[in-house]
Amino acid sequence: FPVDVLLWQTQCGEETCVTASLVDVSERRAANEEIARQREALRQSEKLGAMGGLLAGVAHELNNPLAIVMGRASLLEDKCGDPALRADATRIREAAERCGRIVRSFLAMARSRPAVRTAVRLNDLALGAVDLLQYGLRTGGIELEQQLQPDLPPLLADADKLGQVLLNLIVNAQQALMSVDPPRRIRIESGCDAERIWLRVADNGLGVPEAERERIFAAFVTTKAEGVGTGVGLAVARSVAIEHGGSLRLEAESPFGRGACFRLELPLHAAVAPPVEPAPAVETLAATGGAGRVLVVDDEPELAAMMRDALEASGFEVAIAESGAVALALLDEGRFDAVVSDLRMPDLDGRALWRAIRERDHELAGRFVFVTGDTLSPLASEFRRESGADGLDKPFSAADLVQRVRRCTAALQAPAR
């Protein structure tokens, strides 16, 4: 063990005596190493925080062009008489939808917000994590097997936290496979029994050394090479599992015969009844001779034009305003049945526009749909609470937009009794 040695000399008559003091410094050295690890973890956390803010900004900017692509692809699907061309338009829309899911996942990870528990499906969280990591898995030559049990009951859980747990487990498996020769394989399985819902992530890497198996969930313990991770991922992942009344453990064996296998278990009592889907509304717009007038407010001309075309194709009469001030001027000139507005705009933004409309026409303020590229931002959350307005997250399809506007104007279209 490490020691500090202190020697001093004492003259005793004609003899010289040497006294030695030995102090065990194992604990002090360990404490210094722990402080150094925590400082490095803090530095990495601050770095990730800055990167998260940048990522959120980039993701938000991507949502406008994605919304245009999705909307235009939806319109092409409706217009195409040629089945082959319609299939191509469908592929474009589905690819844009996948990009949208990835962007939303980025935003969810980058935004700090209070914990919120909602009905979530474990399989959907796993598929979302795979979507984010698909490129790295493919370029790393990793074969991904998914054996997800269908129809698992939804859980009352924090989707962001559980999603990050699954992301962490898959990233750990991916990194473990980079040091082994092909074939490289990851298997994601899910299922449930009488008491719990579970999900396993296994790989055929080198596995966790026996000496580290008991410590692998401790904070700042890592088996990765220097500079790869900080050793906090599994500790946080286990704490999230415990917070949800479940557990996260390293199983004794991997189904591949070698490698690591982590099992997340969540109690079945956290499951919630699936929401009852409302019956589809009966379309009556053709009989009424029109769907109503809609004011679209957006400072992105291409996005505004896409929304106009989608609504006009469904029978609405549409006017476009490129700013909140122009929207108020148009409202002074004529009557509108609904307003669709971007939330973030220069000068008069969507929130200020809604407040101005509320002062003029309280009923119209109740038929306000706001669109945003960052539904997790404090601005969007505060506005949703204040207004109770229906929100539409970018990117959205033409069908999503029409459905929201129809819902707003349904009372106006209902026949008198």
At 270, which CATH number? 3.30.565.10
Same domain, yes or no: 312 and 389? yes
Same domain, yes or no: 232 and 319? no
Q: Report pLDDT for 229.
A: 45
Give the whole-angstrom CA distance, residue 156 versus residue 269: 9
- The amino acid occupying position 167 is L
Q: In the numeric block, which tokens belong to residue 347?
A: 């000068």
User: How many domains is the chain built from?
Assistant: 3
Q: Say if residues 317 and 292 touch (Cβ distance below 8 Å).
A: yes
For 149-172, b/e burial (b = at least 16 CB within 10 A) is: eeebebbebbbbbbbbbbbbbbbb
Show Cβ contacts of residue 82 under 8 Å, excluding neighbours closer than 6 positions.
none
Q: Report pLDDT for 416.
A: 47
User: Does residue 389 form part of some domain?
Assistant: yes
The edge-to-edge listing of strands for the beta sheet with 261-267 is 142-148, 184-192, 196-203, 261-267, 247-250
User: Does residue 363 form part of some domain?
Assistant: yes
Same domain, yes or no: 176 and 296? no
Q: Report pLDDT for 397.
A: 82
Q: Say if residues 169 and 262 touch (Cβ distance below 8 Å).
A: yes
At 309, which CATH number? 3.40.50.2300
Among the three residues 277, 304, 328, which one is the final residue of a domain in this structure? 277
Looking at the DSSP assignment, which residues form a beta bridge with residue 202?
A: 187, 261
Show Cβ contacts of residue 265 under 8 Å, excluding neighbours closer than 6 positions.
196, 197, 198, 241, 246, 247, 248, 249
Same domain, yes or no: 403 and 318? yes
User: Does residue 164 form part of some domain?
Assistant: yes
User: Does residue 108 form part of some domain?
Assistant: no
Same domain, yes or no: 269 and 295? no
Run of H or E including 364: helix 362-365
Q: Report pLDDT for 149.
A: 92
Q: Report pLDDT for 265.
A: 92
Q: In the numeric block, which tokens belong to residue 81?
A: 């008489």
User: Does residue 123 form part of some domain?
Assistant: yes
Q: Say if residues 300 and 62 touch (Cβ distance below 8 Å).
A: no
Among the three residues 233, 250, 277, which one is the final residue of a domain in this structure? 277
Same domain, yes or no: 273 and 354? no
CA dist list (Å): 69 to 315, 398, 400: 22, 10, 14
Which residues form the domain of 332? 285-413
Q: Report pLDDT for 257.
A: 85
Q: Where in 47-141 does DSSP place strands (E)? A: 118-120
Q: Report pLDDT for 199.
A: 94
Q: Report pLDDT for 202.
A: 93
Give the whole-angstrom CA distance, residue 401 versus residue 371: 9
Strands 184-192 and 196-203: antiparallel
For 173-195, b/e burial (b = at least 16 CB within 10 A) is: bbbbbeeeeeebbbbbbbebeee
Give the whole-angstrom CA distance, residue 230 versus residue 267: 29
Answer positive or negative: Cα dihedral of 46, 249, 172, 122.
negative
Which one, of 159, 67, 208, 130, lies nearest residue 376 by Cα?
A: 159
Among the three residues 277, 295, 322, which one is the final residue of a domain in this structure? 277
pTM of the predicted model, to two decimals? 0.56
Same domain, yes or no: 273 and 326? no
Q: Report pLDDT for 188.
A: 94
Same domain, yes or no: 232 and 292? no
Same domain, yes or no: 195 and 242? yes
Q: Report pLDDT for 57.
A: 67
User: Does residue 74 form part of some domain?
Assistant: no
Q: Report pLDDT for 289.
A: 43
How far is CA 293 from its chain centroid?
35
Q: Report pLDDT for 346.
A: 80
Q: Say if residues 154 and 120 touch (Cβ distance below 8 Å).
A: yes
Same domain, yes or no: 260 and 289? no
Same domain, yes or no: 270 and 289? no
Same domain, yes or no: 186 and 225? yes
Cis bond leading into 280, ω under 30°?
Answer: no
User: Does residue 125 form part of some domain?
Assistant: yes
Per-residue pLDDT tens digits of the chain, which is 417 residues long: 788 888 888 888 788 888 888 888 888 888 888 788 778 767 766 666 666 666 666 766 777 888 888 888 888 888 888 888 888 888 888 888 877 777 776 666 555 555 567 788 899 889 888 887 887 888 888 999 999 999 888 888 888 788 888 988 999 899 889 888 888 999 999 998 888 899 999 999 888 887 777 777 765 445 444 444 434 478 778 888 888 889 998 888 888 888 899 999 998 865 665 554 444 443 333 333 457 899 999 988 999 999 999 999 888 999 999 998 899 999 988 889 999 998 888 878 888 889 999 988 888 888 899 888 765 566 677 777 788 777 888 888 888 899 889 988 886 655 544
Phi then psi dihedrals of residue 397, to 5 deg: -90, 165
User: Does residue 334 form part of some domain?
Assistant: yes
